[in-house]
Amino acid sequence: MNTTIRRASVFCLLLVLALLVRVTWVQAVDAKALADDKHNRRNIIAQYANPLGDIIVAGKPVTGSKATTGTDMKYKRTYTDGPLYAAVTGYSSQLLGATQLEGAYQSILDGTDSRLKSVTNTLTGATSEAGDVVTTIDPAVQKAAYAGLGSKKGAAVAIDPATGEILAVVSTPSYDPSTISGGSDGAAFTKLKNDSGNPLLNRALRQTYPPGSAYKLVVAASALENGLYDSVTERTDSPSPYTAPGTSTPITNENTAAPCENASIQTALQYSCNTVFAKIAVQLGQAKVAATAKKFGFDTGRLYVPVWAAESVYPTGMDQPQTALSGIGQFSVTATPLQMAMVVAALANGGELAAPHMVSKVTDGNGRTIESFPDGDTTRVVSKDTAEQLQQAMVNVVQNGTGTNAQIPGVEVGGKTGTAQHGENNSGTPYAWFVSYAKGSGGKEVAVAVVVEQSGAARSEVSGNGLAAPIAKSIMKAALGSK
């Protein structure tokens, strides 16, 4: 054998050996990673080979599965009242994956979760019967929030203060998850993605906004908890206008005729006096305000409810003028509607915050509970005295102040309006907030946060009482069963 042939033979042998090593590596080491890869179509085919489990609202499924033709996917996801519940369910798409509860509980809903496996399934490797996700959503409350927001861009969250059960999660504009559940719905998804209204964004849980004057409840709680004032009716030392140390630009009040000079916390909440709360924030200092905010849920990372919600933030490293602005919910303070509903829920519940959750339990195909989220897991946020005093002040806001549009005859309603600036030099349309609670007969109660991002109203007509309070009122009425 000549040298050229011998070298070629050795080279070919090395190529064969390299190929064998690579095949062995792929089968022994990379097999699981390749099998689990999101781009592995076999996984998607297997996922939709059987009907999916359901997301349940008030005992009825708001999801389903439909047999398909002309595709290797046997079933596709369907939705009942898709736009109404989109902020709760998210979507399950053969092409795009899954979001919200569909994503968080994908393995339960497609039957691959190990907790669903019987002994027989374990031995044979067969897919288990899909499980269900049972939510805490109240359809009447959800419908009231969705109808109230209507064509407006915004969000609403309702919570039972005593249990932490989330009764409604709505984000508008919404979308129908059914339109993007198939394997060839890329064009529909692109249209939604490019929509200027951003309907795929869950504004209730994933969008943060400057809370504006609604944040004054946190500052008021901090003032009482830290002993700056003993009572909401105690006179404060607050000039109007107020100029924070280190600046020559005064902070003024929207209503220049309001009795804000040296006003009590109760009066300052009633008339939404910026000057009072800006000075309180400076007097307390950012560390004390931040500590109170953290107890309510700010600056604690993403919230798990049990889908992830964005973190709400009270900023650090502020100078005194910036601290003053933070006291009225501006500068870099940001909050989700969920977070502001939590603030009100804690105050309505005597100062204790019940862990918010929108799933009560997860069941297997036979209805057996395999995971639950019990009510009653509470954390003390502020003292009972502070909570009761702020309830009194919030009731006064609704009865005599800036929140009169939320009044419900025969029902205790407390609230706080907010009109938050946004955009450079306040160039954007202000956000209209209303946060509130209501206590009805039979122990029924609810805490609500509503934000209207855009409504089509003239800039001068944007207000928490005018835009957000009527929506909150309809939500509270639905939760209490009032007519």
Lowest mean pLDDT among 66-80, 148-162, 304-318, 379-393: 66-80
pLDDT of residue 20: 80
Distance CA 226, CA 218 (A): 12
Q: Is the pLDDT of residue 467 over 80?
A: yes
Q: Which domain holds residue 462?
A: 212-359+374-480
- Count: domains in the chain: 1
Distance CA 284, CA 169 (A): 34
Distance CA 151, CA 83 (A): 12
Asked if residues 91 and 99 have their Cβ atoms less than 8 Å apart, the reply is: yes
Question: Stretch 125-137: mean pLDDT, rounded?
Answer: 87
Distance CA 273, CA 220 (A): 12
- End-to-end CA distance of the chain: give it in Å, rounded: 100
- Pairing mode, strands 445-454 and 431-439: antiparallel
Angle at 75 between CA 72 and CA 76, to 5 degrees: 110
Any domain includes 155: no
Question: Stretch 60-88: mean pLDDT, rounded?
Answer: 91
Q: Is the pLDDT of residue 328 over 80?
A: yes
Q: Is the pLDDT of residue 330 over 90?
A: yes
pLDDT of residue 30: 56
Structure tokens at 10: 């050795």
Alpha-helical segments (H) within 365-468? 384-400
- Percent of the chain predicted with pLDDT > 90: 75
Alpha-carbon separation of residue 39 from 22, 26, 95, 103, 308 (angstroms)? 21, 17, 10, 16, 24
Any domain includes 141: no
Model pLDDT for residues 397-438, shown as the tens digit of each residue: 999 999 999 999 999 999 999 998 755 555 567 899 999 999
pLDDT of residue 368: 93
- Pairing mode, strands 132-135 and 55-57: parallel
Question: Stretch 263-282: mean pLDDT, rounded?
Answer: 98
Any domain includes 78: no
Most confident of 11-25, 126-140, 255-269: 255-269
Question: Stretch 320-326: mean pLDDT, rounded?
Answer: 97
What pLDDT band is residue 132 in, cutting at 50, 70 and 90?
Answer: very high
pLDDT of residue 397: 98
Distance CA 436, CA 53 (A): 36
Beta-bridged to residue 92, according to DSSP, are: 98
pLDDT of residue 38: 56
CATH of the domain at 389: 3.40.710.10
Going by C-alpha positions, the residue among 479, 413, 450 that lies closest to residue 141 is 479
Residue position matching structure tokens 């919404």: 174
Residue position matching structure tokens 């390749």: 34
Any domain includes 139: no
Distance CA 298, CA 136 (A): 23
What's the half-sphere exposure (Cβ side, CA atoms, 13 Å) at 164? 18
Average pLDDT of the chain to the nearest whole number: 91
Any domain includes 344: yes
Most confident of 34-38, 147-151, 376-380: 147-151
- Percent of the chain predicted with pLDDT > 70: 89
Model pLDDT for residues 139-183, shown as the tens digit of each residue: 999 999 999 999 999 999 999 999 999 999 999 999 999 999 988
Structure tokens at 449: 């946060």
What pLDDT band is residue 253 in, cutting at 50, 70 and 90?
Answer: very high
Distance CA 332, CA 323 (A): 10
Phi/psi-derived region of residue 165, left when phi > 0, alpha when psi is between -120 and 50, beta in every other case: beta
Residue 258's CB: how many other CB atoms inside 10 A?
Answer: 20
Helix (H) or strand (E) holding 145: helix 139-149
Tell me, letter by letter, the H, E, C secondary structure of 59-98: CEECEEEEECCCCCCCEEEEECCHHHHHHHHCCEECCCEE
Phi, then psi, of 389 in degrees rounded to 5: -65, -40
Q: Is the pLDDT of residue 32 over 60?
A: no
Distance CA 469, CA 208 (A): 19
List, by residue number, the catalytic residues: 213
Structure tokens at 316: 């650090």
Question: Stretch 84-88: mean pLDDT, rounded?
Answer: 98
E-only strand ranges, 200-330: 303-304, 308-309
**Residue 435 has what DSSP assignment?**
E
Structure tokens at 325: 């602005």
Q: Is the pLDDT of residue 357 over 90?
A: yes
pLDDT of residue 128: 77
Any domain includes 328: yes
Alpha-helical segments (H) within 168-263? 186-194, 216-225
Q: Render 18-31 in DSSP notation, one character per residue.
A: HHHHHHHHHHHTSH
Q: Is the pLDDT of residue 320 over 60?
A: yes
Alpha-helical segments (H) within 381-445? 384-400
Question: Stretch 341-349: mean pLDDT, rounded?
Answer: 98
Tell me the pTM. Answer: 0.89
Beta-bridged to residue 93, according to DSSP, are: 97
What pLDDT band is residue 68 in, cutting at 50, 70 and 90?
Answer: confident
How many residues belong to the chain? 483
Angle at 312 between CA 461 and CA 271, to 5 degrees: 40
Alpha-helical segments (H) within 226-296? 265-271, 274-284, 286-296
Distance CA 453, CA 433 (A): 9
Any domain includes 467: yes
Any domain includes 15: no
More confident residue, 227 or 6: 227
Distance CA 153, CA 465 (A): 17
